[in-house]
Amino acid sequence: MPTSKDFSNKRSLFHQCEILSSDRTRIGYKSIGKGPGIILVHGALRDSNDYTRLAIALSHCFTVHLMDRRGRGLSGPQGLEYAMNKECEDVQAIREATGADYLIGHSYGGLVSLELARMDASITKVALYEPGVLINPMDDAWMLRYEQAMLKNDRLGAFAHFVRGMGHTPLTRLPYWYAKLILRLMVRGNHWSKTAQLLPQNLLEHREVQRLSSSYLNYNSIHADMLLIQGGKSSDSTKEMMKELNRTIAMSTLETVNKLDHFGPENDGGPDQIVNLLTNFFLISEGD
């Protein structure tokens, strides 16, 4: 079993790069491995560091380009004109720089990957772990409360409104003050510092999720091979969304990994449970 020291040593094998997107925003990414190129597009309230283990696990068979989406890490700010098209342009810029044609997207990064695959038929294979797709518009009152809390510099309050508003955890059913107290106890130290820093970006990203709600029907035009992965421990609403995506996208396959939840690709042990699914999916056309 790899030790923490082994893991730290492997992190040093990443080659750091940056490119300029269409609007001249700097987009940074880290590359590791040899073989067919994959761009890994991370979720909201996350950056490239959260997917290091998955990138390392895949690097035995692929060249993995682990990007920092705009607004965090190695990349520049989201910008005043932030929208989904900016995210797609960023991934396209990395594709052009690296020649990678495969995508892996998680959560909001999965929504980015879907939108890009819909617009660009040259993308041949996409793997998605619970992409941030809404099949029905959600009540967005929580976004207003989130924004109001941010204006008061109450980031913990904003986070509580987000967690309750998304409806994927038991905290949804708790009073706001109690959910906020629990989050104060559960999300601490470096985890909280990183979350608090990314809350402004998260709000803009979830406005895009809401704007694109119900647009999943447009994904019936996607011709790429698509692997959809869900966690067995994820919410019923997430599983219903995944079934609907699988019905909508012609060349898709839905797989369930029983022991994982929404955060499977980043949690300890999660990458080991999905790496074989991903490897087999992407290597089919490579003849392995």
Domain of residue 99, CATH code: 3.40.50.1820
Work out the widest C-alpha separation in the chain, in whole angstroms.
56
**Is residue 141 exposed (0-12), middle (13-18) or buried (19+ Cβ within 10 Å)?**
exposed
User: Could you tell me if 265 and 57 are in contact, meaning their C-beta atoms sit under 8 angstroms apart?
Assistant: no
pLDDT value of position 3: 43
Q: What are phi and psi of 2, to 5 degrees?
A: -60, 140
For residue 181, how many other CB atoms are within 10 A of its CB? 14
C-alpha to C-alpha distance for 235 and 110, rounded to whole angstroms = 17
Q: What is the pLDDT along the chain (288 residues), one digit of tens a residue?
A: 444 444 555 667 899 999 999 999 999 999 999 999 999 999 999 999 999 999 999 999 999 999 999 999 999 999 999 999 999 999 999 999 999 989 999 999 999 999 999 999 999 999 999 999 999 888 889 999 999 999 999 999 999 999 999 877 788 889 999 999 999 999 999 999 999 999 999 999 999 999 999 889 999 999 999 999 999 999 999 999 999 999 999 999 999 999 999 999 998 889 999 999 999 999 986 444
| pLDDT of res. 285 | 60
- Does 83 share its domain with 46? yes
Q: With left for phi above 0 and alpha for psi between -120 and 50, is residue 33 left, alpha or beta?
A: left
Asked if 14 and 122 sit in the same domain, the reply is yes
Of 191, 210, 229, which marks where a domain is finished?
210
232 Cβ contact list (under 8 Å, min separation 6): 256, 257, 258, 259, 260
Pair (19, 129) in one structural domain? yes
* Per-residue pLDDT, 10: 64
Residues 190 and 148 both lie in one domain: yes
| 95 lies in the same domain as 229 | yes
Last residue of one domain, picked from the residues 170, 193, 210: 210
> How far apart (Å, rounded) are the C-alpha atoms in residues 232 and 70?
31
At 75, list the tokens: 């990349």
Residue 57 is encoded by which pair of tokens? 């696990």
- 234: three-class secondary structure by DSSP: coil
Q: Give the number of domains in the chain.
A: 2
Clarify whether residues 35 and 158 are in a common domain. Answer: no
- The model carries a pTM of 0.94
* CA distances from residue 9 to 53, 272, 275 in whole angstroms, order as listed: 12, 18, 20
Q: Are residues 122 and 225 in the same domain?
A: yes
Range of the domain at 196: 141-210
Same domain, 273 and 157: no
At 267 the pLDDT is 84
Among 210, 230, 255, the domain-final residue is 210
Question: 110, 41 in Cβ contact below 8 A?
Answer: yes
Whether residues 102 and 150 fall in one domain: no
